[in-house]
Amino acid sequence: MNVPGSIDVGSATHTGHVRANNEDDFLVVAPPPDTGLPFVAGIADGMGGAAGGAEASRLGLRTVGVVLLDADAATPPKERMAAGFAAAAARVHQESANVPALRGMGTTLSVLCVAHGVARIGHVGDTRIYLVRDGVCEQLTRDHAVRHPDNLLTRCVGGGSPACEVDQVEVPLRRGDRFLLVSDGVWSAIPPDSFARLVGKGGPQATAEALVAQALAAGGTDNATAVVVDVVDPAGGGAGRSVDLPRDERPGARAMWPRPMSLRPPVWPWLVFAAAAGLLGIAIARWCGVDVRAWMHGVGS
């Protein structure tokens, strides 16, 4: 994809070693130059079963992205972000009510909107956005969740409600700023000291891959997703560049990435085929007048 010269970005996602489906999703939208539209990146972690969680995260991200890009330029950024989250909550709730299989679905939602030298963050749930500035990693979002004894969200988009309360943060940009958007499958799996070391190394794509790979090495018990956004020029100058974001769950060196369960071929068709072949062989033997037990006894002796 093409991104503004003022921005560099990388991303990685993986189902993990335990989950059968990836309910995480991420969004990166880079508008054409000279349009005045913002750069938008977001991350979401859905809930509500295999179908519901994936649909909620996808729907929430895309709805807020559309509102942020389509809003009147005269609308203040704070109101624009609030409108995006309100629309996302209403859309997820509506779809949940329309489709019985999606009943009660919901999602976390953390969005970064960069325009005119300022980053605005909207956030609901326990996906996180960090800022790395001058070598210091700071969490900009607050978790809306109770981690113990069970991981329970106290605020989400959807989840049976047509509205949501969104936290917002505004950050004036500096050259060299790095924003990290990560799901809880990443930040909860990596110790804080290891996390702080990883986020300051390499380019955006290498860092995103390293974070997800580290989460997998720590057990990979949850879906793991990371989006890394670097600020090259706060003023928004520079020619655009092409960034090759991965299109599947195993970017970079494929040998480093275990094949996620959602992409592994199922075993059951082979078991059914073997059983059917065995029964067919017995049926043919009987039709031909062969005593299968006597034949097997003869082979065994």
Domain boundaries 2-263, CATH class = alpha beta
> In this predicted structure, what is the pLDDT of residue 13?
95
- CA 75, 79, 83 angle in degrees (round to 5)? 105
What are the structural domain ranges in the chain? 2-263, 268-300
Residue 261 CA to chain centroid, in angstroms? 16
> What integer pLDDT is reported at residue 151 of this predicted model?
76
Confidence at residue 166, expressed as pLDDT on a 0 to 100 scale = 98
Q: What is the pLDDT of residue 30?
A: 87
pLDDT attached to residue 162? 95
* pTM, full prediction: 0.83
pLDDT at 150: 73
Are 21 and 54 within 8 A, CB to CB?
yes
What pLDDT does residue 246 have?
A: 76
Residue partners of 146: CB distance under 8 A and separation at least 6: 152, 154
Digit-by-digit pLDDT tens for the chain (301 residues) are 788 888 999 999 999 998 888 999 999 998 877 777 899 999 999 998 767 899 999 999 999 999 999 878 789 999 999 999 999 999 999 999 999 989 999 999 999 999 999 999 999 999 999 999 999 999 999 999 997 777 789 999 999 999 999 999 999 999 999 999 999 999 999 999 999 999 988 999 999 999 999 999 999 999 999 999 999 988 876 667 777 787 666 555 545 555 555 555 566 677 777 777 778 777 776 777 666 566 566 655 5
